[in-house]
Amino acid sequence: MEPIIQDIQINKQLFGPDFIWGVSTSAFQTEGSCTIDDKGESIWDVFAAKKGKILNGDSPAVACDFYNQYQKDIDIVKQLNIPNFRFSISWPRIFPNGTGDISQAGIKYYNRVIDYCIQQGIEPWITLYHWDLPQALEFKGGWTNREIIDWFSSYVAACAEHFGDRVKHWMIMNEPAVFTGAGYFMGIHAPGRTGIKQFLPAIHHVILSMVAGAKVLRSILPSAKIGTTFSCAHIEPFSDKPKDISAAKRTDALINRLFIEPVLGLGYPINDLPVLKGIEKYYEPGDEDNMNFDFDFIGIQNYTREIVKYSFLTPYINASLVKAEERNVPITVMKWEIYPAAIYNMIKKFNEYPQIKKIIITENGAAFHDTLNDCKVEDVNRTEYLQANLQQVLKAKNEGCKIDGYFIWTLTDNFEWAEGYHPRFGLVYIDFNTQQRIIKSSGHWYGDFLK
């Protein structure tokens, strides 16, 4: 692959002394130990055990063994001069049955992780929900059951009460558009449900739960910094034909606006995506007042752009993506286009919402074909990808956008959901047979950059 860009001149100082630098991970993708210390099953434990759901039949049972090797990985975070570490808490480690009795083993484990971060001078940033719903709650309907608002609120309260004396930065949910769309509409992610009748109630209950969780946090931890994260992709029409332009607008409403606008008090983007009108049947009195929250920051997670054209055959949205590999553009192992300007465009787009106080890039990264040679991984393409994206972040910042931080996805190669262990996103190479950690050249670059 040709280098993404040439001769980048960029350094940490250009972003200012208050810019937030970090790295992101998630519990299910790294911890393993899925049945240790009375942890309950999650929907991903169940989904991954089904034949044909995960590439190559990969199992998350061990993953990166972060459950046992968290000190080693946090030591690497420190070694790389990364001041902020974003990780998630596994709901079924805290409540094995989703509700009811709290697991003291789960509480003690996350206390150990938090305490070790602080001991090493690293600020813990916690994501409360990164897709691993307790399977016990999925049996009751999961996100399609309105009772989940109370279940989630109780879980958030337990985390706030046990960890809030040390954790100052919280994210309520990770990428709701992805876990509802892939899990409750397309069925390619856990819990594997399909159809609009699953998708619409899940959307509404996720919005209400996100806000309810944020209000619980605010009530228990009034001085905490509370945010939530959204996936986003820069959308462009395939041509200047009106049908393609309209298709791109509907796709943008689905991918980029569906969750952020309700929590900002703007309601669902029904005018641009009429299928959302079906959500109204799931409304109850007072819902409009319980759908928005004044977040301290919004996390946006961008990896690529998408080109969209009109499609008569695609139900509900009449739009389809033009695959990057068919457009003769540089791509990652995930077959996502390498297009650094996407992150600039998304910062600009979210900056246009006056309700947003602060924007942080809570995920950005790339998967490439990393190879281990002589105990080294020279991942030049990843370093160039990160540099190119940071150049675009700096451009947005210099133009006055409220962009205040940048977290790389991810620290270590991990279990990448339905793609198993094939895509490697990490700054650190994992030999999944031996659990050996090897810092890649991109990790060394980031460490030098942050010095």
Q: What mean pLDDT is predicted for residues 374-384?
A: 97
Q: What mean pLDDT is predicted for residues 289-298?
A: 98
pLDDT of residue 9: 76
Question: Residue 275 pLDDT more than 80?
Answer: yes
Q: Residue 426: which of 70, 48, 77 has the closest Cα? A: 77
Q: What mean pLDDT is predicted for residues 143-172?
A: 98
Known catalytic residue at 175 = yes
The angle that helices 380-398 and 441-449 make with each other, rounded to 10 degrees, is: 30
Could you state, in order of their start, the residue ranges of all structural domains in the chain?
12-449
Helix (H, G, I), strand (E, B), or coil: what is residue 438?
strand
Confidence grade of residue 265 (pLDDT, cut at 50, 70, 90)? very high
Question: Residue 189 pLDDT more than 70?
Answer: yes
Question: Residue 224 pLDDT more than 70?
Answer: yes
DSSP code string of 72-139: HHHHHHHHTT--EEEEE--HHHH-TTSSSS--HHHHHHHHHHHHHHHHTT-EEEEEEESS--BHHHHT
Q: Residue 443: which of 373, 379, 369 has the closest Cα? A: 379
Domain spanning 12-449 has what CATH number?
A: 3.20.20.80
Q: What mean pLDDT is predicted for residues 120-141?
A: 98
Known catalytic residue at 399 = no
Separation between Cα atoms, residue 290 and residue 67, nearest integer Å: 36
State what percent of residues in the chain have pLDDT above 90.
98
Task: Summarize pLDDT for 422-448 with one digit per residue, the tens.
Answer: 999 999 999 999 999 999 999 999 999
pLDDT, averaged across the chain:
97
Give the up-direction half-sphere exposure of residue 448: CA atoms within 13 A in the CB hemisphere: 10
Helix (H, G, I), strand (E, B), or coil: what is residue 188?
coil
Question: Residue 8 pLDDT more than 80?
Answer: no
Task: Summarize pLDDT for 345-369 with one digit per residue, the tens.
Answer: 999 999 999 999 999 999 999 999 9
Q: What mean pLDDT is predicted for residues 290-310?
A: 98
Please state whether 16 falls in left (phi above 0), alpha (psi between -120 and 50) or beta.
left
Which of 138, 363, 384, 416 is catalytic? The answer is 363
Confidence grade of residue 66 (pLDDT, cut at 50, 70, 90)? very high
Helix (H, G, I), strand (E, B), or coil: what is residue 157?
helix
| Burial profile 371-384: b = 16 or more Cβ within 10 angstroms, e = fewer | eeeeeebebebbbb
Cα distances (Å, whole numbers) of residue 55 to 60, 415, 436, 444: 12, 11, 22, 30
Q: What mean pLDDT is predicted for residues 314-327?
A: 97
Question: Residue 7 pLDDT more than 90?
Answer: no
Torsion angle, CA of 128/89/366/404, rounded to 10 degrees?
50
Which of 175, 261, 306, 384 is catalytic? The answer is 175
What contacts 24+ positions apart, CB below 8 Å, involve 100-105? Answer: 102/158, 103/37, 103/38, 103/39, 105/37, 105/38, 105/39
pLDDT of residue 55: 98
Question: Residue 4 pLDDT more than 50?
Answer: no
Separation between Cα atoms, residue 161 and residue 128, nearest integer Å: 13
State what percent of residues in the chain have pLDDT above 70.
98
Question: Residue 1 pLDDT more than 90?
Answer: no
